[in-house]
Structure 1
């Protein structure tokens, strides 16, 4: 599927303190990917990641973040990274949504317990993109899920997979995109 010039700018983020996957719009028909690998140590990495993403967040119509796994809510360094990025979204008045890992996997592959290899293969089969970085693979799927949720699908998927996003609560600010 291709998109149009009115396609919302959706930023997909697979957050991690050591390797954050990023998927962003280059133009309506293509996606760029990157991995942020902080060079600083300790909590300074939070600032480095936030600063690296600030302009992308400011330019986005929606940021889609992979949520923490259910068993990890409220704990761990990834939660701290997520907090730093949520604050950056608020600073730039950019709406964001979180998608649970199992929901993202079901959307991408049809199975909520898909492996990283399954996610990568599904991306290759559906888009032709052969990304070697699992962080970027997840970020691309997060961006695709965000566009799907806003009514601008970029990947042709069976209805059962698309239905996985029905439980996601999309921000009101972008519901009309």
Structure 2
């Protein structure tokens, strides 16, 4: 994987399988066990804490936002809380990108399915993923690099313009 001088972390948050795209482009999944209950939140937080300390400071973390109808409810909201706290404690700025905006950036269609997302990454970058969480995290990282002026892939202007809808931190 190619390493960009700008260090962006992509995070597709989930209590069962969080996708992580590291600043060097490597992807992995933080898998947790239902039997561990709320201790899974600690496991995810600790894994993110490690990810943001490997290889130097992170310039930006890009997180897939909760769907509009689920912003205030549910288990995924708890994961967002602990991860955002972890990033805040480490002074890592983060951006939020809605699922539809991420899909439109990656594929041109805001309602693209997981297969279309993976196919777009394969066609544009020749990369394959172990699961769709890693794929989403990779596209989140790509969006962050695009926003910071170091595009990872070449995309049509209309797809890049979709990133204007994301919630980017002040620089």
TM class by shorter-chain length?
A: over 0.9
| TM-score when normalising by structure 2 | 0.92
User: Residue 44 of structure 2 aligns with which residue?
Assistant: 49
Superposed CA offset, 1:33-73 (max 9, x none): 00001246111100010001102224311110000011111
The count of aligned residue pairs is 166
Shift in Å at residue 136 of structure 1? 0.2
Distance 1:85 1:79 in 2: 10
Alignment root-mean-square deviation, CA: 1.4
Deviation above 2 Å: which 4+ runs of structure 1?
none
1:111 corresponds, among 100, 109, 112, to: 109
**1:3 and 1:22, CA in 2 relative to 1: closer, same or farther beyond 3 A?**
closer
Distance 1:167 1:137 in 2: 21
User: What does 1:20-169 align with in structure 2 at a 5 Å threshold?
Assistant: 20-26=18-24, 31-39=25-33, 41-58=36-53, 59-169=57-167
Distance 1:161 1:142 in 2: 14
| TM-score when normalising by structure 1 | 0.89
Distance 1:171 1:25 in 2: 18
Say if 2:3 and 2:23, in contact at 8 Å, map to a contact too.
Answer: no
Distance 2:82 2:3 in 1: 31
Distance 1:48 1:142 in 2: 22
Distance 2:116 2:96 in 1: 21
Q: Which runs of 5+ in 2 are unaligned?
A: none
Say if 1:3 and 1:152, in contact at 8 Å, map to a contact too.
Answer: no
